[in-house]
Amino acid sequence: MKTEFPSKSEITRCWFVIDASEAALGRVASKAAKVLMGKHKPIYTPFLDTGDHVIVINADKAILTGNKETQKIYRRHSGYPGGLTEISAERMRATRPIKMVEEAVRGMLPKTKLGKQMYRKLKVYGGEKHPHDAQQPTSMAVAG
């Protein structure tokens, strides 16, 4: 028996909106990553990008549980000696709340060229409004 793989014409891309207000950051990120990878579809194939587009709104209102607000640290390195920069989650939320959601979702996607392709379908906005009304996105609820 031959295994069937979806062709490019069989893959249809939908648009989904996830509201991150009053939802845990990890739950929002895992839901978004699942949709970006296409794991919610019956035609999911690990080595093909079968996922949909995701719009995350109210990224500045996503909550961190426990003591993560004060204890979680975001790190990045410039590549130069002594170039490590550390920012607490509290400061990150005050300055760049969109980056928190983007990094959480990126960490849940594959670390390959395919993962970068999936990541490009993610749009994150800090407020309630987004410029993707023409794509007629459907709302998606986050559990918990």
Whole-prediction pTM value?
Answer: 0.92
Amino acid at site 121:
K
β-bridge partners, 18: 56, 140
- Helix, strand, coil percentages (3-state) for the chain, rounded to 5, are 35, 20, 45
Asked: is 15-66+93-140 a CATH 3.90.1150.10 domain? The reply is no
Q: Which residues contact 49 (CB under 8 A, 6 or more apart)?
A: 11, 38, 114, 117, 118
Q: For the chain, which residues make up each domain, given as ranges?
A: 15-66+93-140
Report the pLDDT value the prediction gives residue 13, as an integer from 0 to 100: 95
CA 143 and chain centroid, separation:
15
- Supply the DSSP symbol for 24: B
Report the pLDDT value the prediction gives residue 40, as an integer from 0 to 100: 95
Over the chain (144 residues), what is each successive 10-residue block's mean pLDDT?
A: 87 96 95 96 93 96 94 96 97 95 97 97 96 96 82
β-bridge partners, 56: 18, 124
59 C-beta neighbours (distance < 10 Å), count: 25
- Sign of the Cα torsion 49, 50, 52, 56 reads negative
Report the pLDDT value the prediction gives residue 144, as an integer from 0 to 100: 65
Report the pLDDT value the prediction gives residue 1, as an integer from 0 to 100: 79
**Cα–Cα distance measured from residue 100 to residue 68, given in angstroms and rounded to the nearest whole number:** 12
Phi-psi region of 86 (alpha: psi -120 to 50; beta: other; left: phi over 0): beta
